[in-house]
Amino acid sequence: MLTPTKISRPKPYLLAVEWSDGKQTTITLRTFRDECPCASCKGETIMGTTYSFGMQVMKPGKYDLVSIQTVGNYAIQADWKDGHNTGLYSWDILRRITEEFDLSPTQIEELEHQAAAEGLL
Ligand SMILES: [Zn+2]
């Protein structure tokens, strides 16, 4: 089973994950939050239909990550500044998200320029 060997934040807005197979992935915190797998963010699948109970209102601090905790040996839990902390990212969910949204070096560079322009660095 693939497990993360290192989880870090190379930039305040980036999450980098290194995997036991040597793969290195980097996604934005925005993606990380948008892909939150909890029931209120993703909706619950009932008989094959997905219902979303999540509030779509943008709260301040939604994309500010306060901390990440390891849960047992199988997942991480993210604690967001808007108070949201029910998202449990199991290793296979995390792997899927980081593979799907993995940023290229060019994209990371563009984000850096963007962040610098917005005074976020
Ligand atoms: Zn959530």
pLDDT digits (tens, 9 = 90+) for 70-92: 999 999 999 999 999 999 999 99
- Rounded to whole angstroms, the Cα distance separating 36 from 94 reads 10
Q: What was the pLDDT predicted at 55?
A: 47
pTM of the model: 0.84
- 4-117 in CATH: which number? 3.30.2020.30
Show the CA angle centred on residue 77, arms to residues 17 and 7, nearest 5°.
20
pLDDT level of residue 49 (50, 70, 90 thresholds): low
- Rounded to whole angstroms, the Cα distance separating 119 from 121 reads 6
More reliable by pLDDT, 90 or 46: 90
The residue ranges of every structural domain in the chain are 4-117
Instruction: Write the CB contacts of 45 (distance below 8 Å, at least 6 apart in sequence).
Output: none
Q: Which residues pair with 68 in a beta bridge?
A: 78
pLDDT level of residue 53 (50, 70, 90 thresholds): low
CA of 86 to the centre of ligand 1 (A): 6
CA of 8 to the centre of ligand 1 (A): 20
CA of 22 to the centre of ligand 1 (A): 28
CA of 78 to the centre of ligand 1 (A): 9
